[in-house]
């Protein structure tokens, strides 16, 4: 893996295990909500991104959100039904694939992770050829081999000295020695999958204050702006296309949630769909393995998509 700056190999860290390799098939997404006062027909193409929204433990119910990652980096929030997702093979098959979605713009409405107040209420969804390259394997495909992740640490401009943990803690977190994260995935997969080559870099300073990205009172965090700005301020040190996954770690609370799933990023001359997480300051070892599990396409193991 190619870093643009000096990289320190991760070491040992404590981690609590949770079973993520028990995949339960089931319907994905949530039923579209009430129709607002206006609508505009549209047809939009991009990679479908399914992202889990996980609250602090015992603070709420996880939710599965669906977005379209466009080539310009925009995350388009989708209102899509379970039946529509089943029609293209279900969440495990369509997540990360290039699709064309037709429907109506609805808004305004607050949508976690969306770049605007509007959502696209889906009328139809179909697979489409990716004009920028082949789509990744379906999320339901077996996970084998090495899957290196980079953990990028970013600070909000109004919290320039706050760091939940030092860089060394995150470097150790990704380690291959028991009980590091690399060791964790090896153990759960019977040594069929690992995150060898992973690492962490930071802390980097974001250009905007916390309130620019996050509205704590409404539970809205703009995942698009968070990923774009955190990637931009760290790009001089990281060649992102060398990695399959990105953990974006922030130094303050993201409205009480951390997120895990997939999303596209156009950086270092490459438009690519990454396994991706957005971590609040309270994220610990369990949070990392949990959200990275969603990045690998795994649902919550105690129930179908849409359930805890």
pTM of the model: 0.81
d(CA 219, CA 226): 15
d(CA 256, CA 269): 34
Write down the pLDDT at residue 220.
84
Write down the pLDDT at residue 123.
96
In tens digits, the chain (308 residues) has pLDDT values of: 556 654 443 332 332 333 333 322 333 333 333 344 446 899 999 989 999 999 987 778 898 999 998 877 788 999 999 999 999 999 888 888 899 999 999 875 444 444 455 789 999 999 998 887 655 555 556 789 999 999 999 999 999 999 999 999 999 999 988 878 998 999 999 999 999 999 999 999 999 999 999 988 877 899 999 999 999 999 999 999 999 999 999 999 999 999 999 888 889 999 888 999 999 999 998 899 999 999 998 887 644 444 33
| Cα 254 versus chain centre, distance | 14
* Domain parsing of the chain, residue ranges: 40-127, 145-295
Strand partners, 164: none
Given CATH 2.102.10.10, say whether it is the number of domain 40-127.
no
Half-sphere exposure in the Cβ direction for 179 (13 Å, CA): 9
User: In 3-state terms, what secondary structure has residue 74?
Assistant: coil
Write down the pLDDT at residue 30.
36
Q: What is the DSSP letter of 99?
A: E
Contact residues for 126 (Cβ-Cβ < 8 A; gap 6+): 88, 99, 100
Write down the pLDDT at residue 280.
97
Listed in order, strand segments (DSSP E) in 14-146 are 39-55, 63-69, 75-79, 98-106, 119-127, 145-146
Write down the pLDDT at residue 95.
86
Alpha-carbon dihedral 225, 38, 125, 130, rounded to 10 degrees: -40
């Amino acid at each position: 893996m190619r870093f643009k700056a000096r990289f320190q190999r991760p070491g040992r860290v404590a981690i609590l295990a949770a079973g993520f390799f028990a995949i339960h098939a089931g319907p994905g997404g949530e039923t579209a909500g009430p129709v607002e006062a206006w609508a505009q027909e549209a047809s939009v193409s991009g990679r479908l991104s399914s992202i889990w929204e996980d609250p602090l433990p015992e603070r709420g119910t996880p939710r599965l959100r669906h977005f379209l990652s466009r080539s310009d980096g925009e995350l388009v929030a989708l209102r899509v039904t379970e039946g529509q997702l089943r029609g293209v093979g279900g969440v495990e098959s369509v997540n990360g694939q290039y699709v064309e979605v037709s429907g109506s713009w609805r808004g305004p409405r607050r949508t976690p992770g969306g770049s605007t107040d509007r959502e696209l209420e889906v009328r139809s969804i179909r697979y489409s050829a990716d004009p920028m390259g082949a789509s990744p394997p379906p999320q339901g495909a077996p996970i084998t081999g090495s899957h290196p992740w980079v953990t990028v640490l970013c600070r909000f401009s109004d919290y320039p000295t706050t760091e939940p943990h030092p860089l060394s803690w995150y470097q150790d977190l990704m380690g291959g020695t028991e009980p590091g994260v690399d060791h964790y995935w090896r153990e759960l997969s019977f040594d069929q999958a690992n995150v060898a080559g992973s690492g962490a870099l930071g802390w980097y300073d974001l250009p905007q204050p916390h309130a620019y990205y996050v509205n704590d009172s409404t539970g809205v965090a703009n995942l698009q702006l968070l990923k774009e700005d955190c990637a931009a301020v760290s790009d001089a040190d990281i060649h992102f296309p060398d990695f399959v996954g990105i953990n974006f770690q922030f130094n303050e609370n993201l409205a009480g949630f951390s997120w895990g799933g997939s999303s596209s990023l156009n950086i270092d001359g490459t438009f690519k769909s990454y396994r991706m997480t957005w971590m609040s300051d309270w994220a610990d070892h369990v949070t990392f393995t949990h959200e990275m599990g969603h990045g690998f396409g795994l649902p919550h193991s105690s129930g179908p998509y849409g359930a805890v």
